[in-house]
Amino acid sequence: MPTLTAAACAALMEPLTDVAIAAALEILQAGTGGARTKADGSPVTPADEAAEVLIRKELRRLTPTLPIISEEQAAQEMPKTPARGSYFLVDPLDGTKDFIAGREEYTVNIALMTDNAPVLGVIAAPAFSVLWRGIVGRGAQRIEVSADARTVARQTIHTRSPASDNLTILVSRSHLEARTKAYVDQLPVGKLEPCGSSIKFCRLAEGAADLYPRLAPTHDWDIAAGHAILAAAGGKVIAPSGAPLVYGSNDLIIPAFVAWSDPARAGPIKG
C-alpha cells in the first residue's frame, strides 16, 4: 500500500477539509428522519449513509490508491486493515444517538492512518459550523465555517497544562459506564462535563479541558481523527496500561483509552 509522507498529508488537508464540510451540509440537509437499528444494536439514519457515500466518493477521487474503511461499510462486511501503508478511517456521523435526539454534539470524522497510527484528522461539527483539523507534528487548527461553506476564520490551537487539583474532565453523554466512572471518582475533579461524539477530543485540543477517559470498547473510526488532532495540538492518547493504542485489529475495536491534554500526565492507570 502507498505510504503518505508528511508533505503529502499537508497537501491533502485543504481538499479533506472541503470533503468534511460537504458531508456536514449533506447531514444538515438530510435531517434526522428515517432512523433504524443495525444488526449490532446501534442506530443509523439516511443522513449517516448519505454522508458516507459522499465522503467515499470524494476520497476515491482525491486518492484512488488508498483504502477507505468506514462505519457503514463495516456494518455490511468487516474490512481488513493493511498492515503497512496509508488508509482512511471514516465515521460519517459520529454521535448518531445525539443527532436523532435533536442534540447538536455530532460530528463528521475523517482520519488518515499510516502504519496503523493516526497522522491526520479532520472533524466537522455541522450544528456548530465549526471544524477542527491537524497533522501530527505539524499543528492543529479550529476553523469557523460560514453558511455558504467557506472557511471564514482559522485559529491555531494548543492543549493546556491542567492544574493538579482542578481537572476539567469530559465524559461520554451516552456511554458513561461503571469502570470509567470509578476512575474519574479517584481524580481531583474541578468540573465534570458530559459531551457527545468526538467533540471531546477537540475540546482537549483547543485547551478547554484536560482529560477524556473511556474505559470501554469503541471502534477505530470513532477516535482516530480526534486522536490525530489532539496529538497535533500537543496532547496524548494512550491505552490504560500507558502503552500506545493499537489500531487495526480484526474487529477494529479499541478496548479502552485515556486522552490527556498534557502528555506529562499521561501514564498507566493504577488499580
The runs of H, that is alpha helices, within 84-219 are 96-100, 178-185, 199-205
In this structure, is the dihedral angle defined by the CA atoms of residues 244, 250, 251 and 252, taken in order, positive or negative? positive
Mean pLDDT calculated for residue range 171-179: 86
Evaluate whether 6-157 and 167-265 have a shared fold.
no
6-157 topology per CATH: Fructose-1,6-Bisphosphatase; Chain A, domain 1 (3.30.540)
Question: pLDDT at position 148, please?
Answer: 83
Total-model pTM: 0.96
User: What pairing do the DSSP bridges indicate for beta strands 86-94 and 107-114?
Assistant: antiparallel
Distance set, CA 270 to CA 163, 172, 183, 266 (Å): 20, 21, 9, 12
Question: pLDDT at position 78, please?
Answer: 79
Question: pLDDT at position 271, please?
Answer: 60
> Residue-wise over 34-44: b if at least 16 C-beta within 10 A, else e?
eeeeeeeeeeb
User: What are 112's three cell numbers?
Assistant: 488518515
pLDDT above 90 for 80: no
Could you tell me the residue ranges of all domains in the chain? 6-157, 167-265
Mean predicted lDDT score pLDDT of the chain:
94
Q: How many helices (H) and strands (E) does the chain have?
A: 7, 16
Q: What is the architecture of the domain spanning 167-265?
A: 3-Layer(aba) Sandwich (3.40)
Question: pLDDT at position 152, please?
Answer: 85
User: What pairing do the DSSP bridges indicate for beta strands 68-70 and 117-125?
Assistant: unpaired
Question: pLDDT at position 121, please?
Answer: 98
pLDDT above 80 for 126: yes
pLDDT more than 70, % of the chain: 100
pLDDT above 70 for 25: yes
